[in-house]
Amino acid sequence: MNELIDRARAMSAEIAAARPDMEAHRRLPDALARSMSDAGFYRMCVPARHGGSEVHPATLVEVIETLAATDASAAWCVMIGATTGSIAAYLDAETADEVFADPAAIICGVYAPSGQAERSGAVYRMRGRWRWNSGGRNATWLCGGCVIMENGAPRMLTDKIPDQRMMVFRASEATFIDTWRTTGLVGTGSGDFTIDDLAVPVARSVSLMTDTPRIETPLYRFPIFGLLALGIAAVASGNARAALDEFATLASGKRTPGGRSLAERGTVQAAFADASARLAAARALLMESINSSWSDAAAGRAISVASRAALRLAATHMTRTAAEVVRGMQDLAGGAGVFHGDPLLRRLNDAQTMTAHVMIAPATYELTGRALLGVPVNAAEL
């Protein structure tokens, strides 16, 4: 799949040229989304039998890293669309074809169960309001998590866990609300959408807690939340690597009052080397965890709870280490890194915003720590 990585590199100029539009309108331009769709980025996790490329997760990471080196917002939108495409493996063949038959189809959405749905015959009637709808304004299909209701109350899977399903519907059926006014990932258009009362066929609903993929190929043995976390880590990794490169360019040209460049100062050299090592180590852990789990998946073995935990832990460590690295580079840049439009300030704002995602939030350390210590956990959470 090196061709996908080459396409990502080739799109650098187009993405960079679109950045003023992204920042002015706080969303991805439709023309850029079409270009990235044409390149096949949104279909990386769609099953091959439904027109996707069904890539190795390491390829997913490398493509997203490459895009993020140019712009984190563009990479984030691809990450959301690509990983959401994996739900095609959970749908029956006819429904998956309905959603993905159009080669230009883009599916985005929100996993959080912010809505409610109640079954009525062959449909669920859904309603709700969902936040963090990254890339949704470019999508042809959306999905939204719903708590399943019965007789006015949530249907419970256990005494503490309500039944939840993702409803898949056309983007034109949602009402978008412009709430995305942030300092980071500005171009993702991650605002809200609402559904007042929509009938969704039961076949266009998926439970990420109780359903299992209908396609038994290696990619769909990966935990879907782990796949999403890997995508987030890939954006963080590419953004941080670019921040190191941008600082190196700045450090070679910026002179201190004594006439030396920043790059000639010992403290800067040591800090830069330390940051480079920490980022490389975090990435190595990420790729090792991916390849270890892929070996099991490719051999037809279920990925263990410990391996699932290792994937989430590596993704969380990568994302949060990347934010620290970018923060360090912006700090070393001094006054050059505080102005609007400065690349390092943009990198920092993007990196810090990424750390707010629930898949790599600090609570993930507790979840993965329990699993690694052998304390019982709900595997579906990993």
d(CA 76, CA 360): 14
Q: Strand 141-150 to strand 175-177: parallel, antiparallel, or no bridges (unpaired)?
A: unpaired
Candidate CATH numbers 3.40.50.150, 2.40.110.10, 3.40.50.1100, 3.40.50.10800; the one for domain 107-206: 2.40.110.10
In 3D space, the residue among 315, 312, 321 whose CA is nearest the CA of residue 368 turns out to be: 312
Report whether 92 contacts 168 (CB < 8 A).
no
d(CA 6, CA 88): 26
Report the length, in residues, of the chain. Answer: 382
Q: Map out the domains of the chain as residue ranges.
A: 2-89, 107-206, 222-381
Per-residue pLDDT 10s for the chain (382 aa) are: 589 999 999 999 999 999 999 999 999 999 999 999 999 999 999 999 999 999 999 999 999 999 999 999 999 999 999 999 999 999 999 999 999 999 999 999 999 999 999 999 999 999 999 999 999 999 999 999 999 999 999 999 988 899 999 999 999 999 999 999 999 999 999 999 999 999 999 999 999 989 999 999 999 999 999 999 999 999 999 999 999 999 999 998 877 677 788 999 999 999 999 999 999 999 999 999 999 999 999 999 999 999 999 999 999 999 999 999 999 999 999 876 677 778 999 999 999 999 999 999 999 999 999 999 999 998 888 8
DSSP notation for 201-236: EGGGEE-TTT---S--SGGGGS-HHHHHHHHHHHHH
Helix intervals (H) in the chain: 2-10, 12-25, 30-38, 57-70, 72-84, 93-100, 224-253, 266-298, 305-333, 343-354, 363-372
In 3D space, the residue among 348, 370, 359 whose CA is nearest the CA of residue 317 turns out to be: 359
Task: Say if pTM beats, i.e. exceeds, 0.85.
Answer: yes
**What's the alpha-carbon Rg for the chain, to the nearest Å?**
21
Report whether 126 contacts 144 (CB < 8 A).
yes
Domain 2-89 and domain 107-206, same fold? Reply is no
The DSSP letter of residue 40 is: T
Candidate CATH numbers 1.10.540.10, 3.30.590.10, 3.50.50.60, 2.70.180.20; the one for domain 2-89: 1.10.540.10
d(CA 356, CA 354): 5
Candidate CATH numbers 3.60.20.30, 3.40.50.720, 3.40.190.10, 1.20.140.10; the one for domain 222-381: 1.20.140.10
Helix (H) or strand (E) holding 138: none
In 3D space, the residue among 20, 126, 65 whose CA is nearest the CA of residue 322 turns out to be: 65
